Amino acid sequence: MNPSPPGGSEGIAWQPFTFGGVAAFATAGALRAWVVVMLTALLLGLAADRYFVAAWFPALDLALERLPASGEIRDGRLLWPTPQAVELANNGFVRLLVNPNFGPVAGQSADVTFECTADTLTAQSLFGYWVLPYPYRLRLALNQPTLQPLWAAWRPHFRLGLPTASALVMVVAWAGLALVLAPVARALALLLRREVPLRGCWKAAFATFAPFALATALGVVLYAGRGFRLPDLLVTWALAHLYSLILLFGAIPCLPRLARASPFVVRPSAPMTAASPFAAPPGDPDLTVQPEASSARKDVPQAPSAASVLVNGEAPADPRNPFAAPTALPAPPVGAPREPFPAPVLPARPRPSDRPPPAAPEPPPRRIMPTSAPTPTPRRSEPAEPLDPMNPS
């Protein structure tokens, strides 16, 4: 599937039901995500109100009508006038029982069952079985004269505040879940080289709860109208969560890519000026080269300076550039003959007689070869005369 551009064709964050729509919320303002999620949360709150009106309110009305004139919970014990078990209400959604002696109770089961025993309150449903002991300091009246007027006075307030309270609780819970999902989405965006901050990932994750709220609201309405059973509602809730996660992680490829600097793009440099880069800054006498410090020979004619070259009899605008145009050139009158361009005024060259005679070249030094000492000639040895034994001298 080719990812669509963020927010559809126009890039406006208005629906979080597609990959591009969720990606548009990542780059849009946070207020837009809050508004969309709050509206869908209110719809879910209205669906919850529909469920309570169809399931809980009729059960409570019937249970209050069947309560005895006396009965209460005091010092951690149930004080009930009769020892027999009593089924107060059962409409398939909710079942309310009072069983002081833990006896068997005949009747049809419901999705949620609450049973008051001698010292505990038990709750049983598809999610499990819970046992809650009565607090020792609790004192609660379980009789018709006390509870029925109280319920009649508070029922309109419950009916009015239930959708708003449900919506606020769900929005706060979804904002916390978005904080958990945002770092995961940010890590995936870095792997795919997508340009989105952590705040944008939070806005995208927060916006994905809008379709979850709509799907869950539809399931609750069908469950309240007995179109769904409790397992069907749980499956709808799980699929709605899965769809939200798919929307979040599928929206990451629709985000803009990270801008990578090309090595072949030449960055614009600073504008070049006519000033020499080796010239001293103005106003710094320590770095200004004085003409007395020049190492040129005085007997050799020097080239004319830039200030000595005149253009139309005027000095150039920039003395450092002899070819710069003058600051102001007078315009010739209309019809006047044009004068020839004057030649630049240059100093006269020195005559050959004024030049110093060239110095005579020095003869190259003679190379003296070292002489070795004479080798002594060995003497020839003369043979000795034999001695005369008769004449020893």
Last residue of a domain, one of 142, 166, 184: 142
Q: Are residues 112 and 44 in the same domain?
A: no
> Which residue from 152, 216, 210, 134 is spatially nearest to 178, judged by alpha carbons?
210
Residue 192, domain member (yes or no) = yes
Residue 5, domain member (yes or no) = no
Spatial strand order in the sheet of 86-90 = 86-90, 94-98, 112-116, 120-125, 128-133
Residue 376: the pLDDT is 62
Q: Are residues 138 and 164 in the same domain?
A: no
Q: Are residues 77 and 221 in the same domain?
A: no
Q: Are residues 125 and 208 in the same domain?
A: no
Are the C-beta atoms of 144 and 70 separated by less than 8 Å?
no
Residue 201, domain member (yes or no) = yes
Q: Are residues 81 and 228 in the same domain?
A: no
**pLDDT tens-digit series, residues 185-195:** 999 999 999 98
Residue 83: the pLDDT is 87
Q: Tokens 């009593």 belong to which residue? A: 86
Residue 284: the pLDDT is 52
Residue 295: the pLDDT is 47
Q: Provide CB contacts within 8 A for 240, sequence distance 6+.
A: 211, 212, 215, 216, 219
Residue 339, domain member (yes or no) = no
Residue 220: the pLDDT is 95
Number of domains in the chain: 2
Q: Are residues 134 and 164 in the same domain?
A: no
Last residue of a domain, one of 142, 168, 200: 142
Q: Are residues 129 and 157 in the same domain?
A: no
Residue 51: the pLDDT is 94
R_g of the chain computed on alpha carbons: 54
Residue 315, domain member (yes or no) = no
Last residue of a domain, one of 142, 171, 205: 142
Could you tell me the pTM of the whole model? 0.62
Spatial strand order in the sheet of 77-79 = 77-79, 72-74, 139-141
Tens of pLDDT, residue by residue, the chain (393 residues): 444 444 333 457 788 999 999 999 998 989 999 999 999 999 999 999 999 999 999 999 999 999 999 899 998 899 999 888 889 999 999 999 999 887 777 777 899 999 999 999 999 998 889 999 999 888 999 999 999 999 999 999 999 999 999 999 999 999 999 999 999 999 999 999 998 999 999 999 999 999 999 999 999 999 999 999 999 999 999 999 999 999 999 999 999 888 765 556 555 555 555 555 565 555 555 544 454 444 445 554 555 554 444 444 555 555 566 666 555 556 666 666 666 656 666 666 666 666 667 777 777 777 666 655 556 666 665 555 555 556 555
Residue 103: the pLDDT is 73
Q: Are residues 37 and 87 in the same domain?
A: no
Q: Are residues 38 and 77 in the same domain?
A: no
Residue 324, domain member (yes or no) = no
Q: Are residues 158 and 246 in the same domain?
A: yes
Q: Can you say whether the dihedral through the CA atoms of 55, 61, 63, 64 is positive or negative?
A: positive
Residue 101: the pLDDT is 85
Residue 134, domain member (yes or no) = yes
Beta-carbon count within 10 A of 224 CB: 20
Q: Are residues 35 and 78 in the same domain?
A: no
Q: Are residues 44 and 188 in the same domain?
A: yes
Residue 265, domain member (yes or no) = no
> Which residue from 313, 334, 333, 310 is spatially nearest to 322, judged by alpha carbons?
310
What range defines the domain where residue 243 resides? 19-50+153-254
C-alpha separations of 233 from 111, 122, 222, 227, 240 in Å = 12, 23, 8, 10, 11
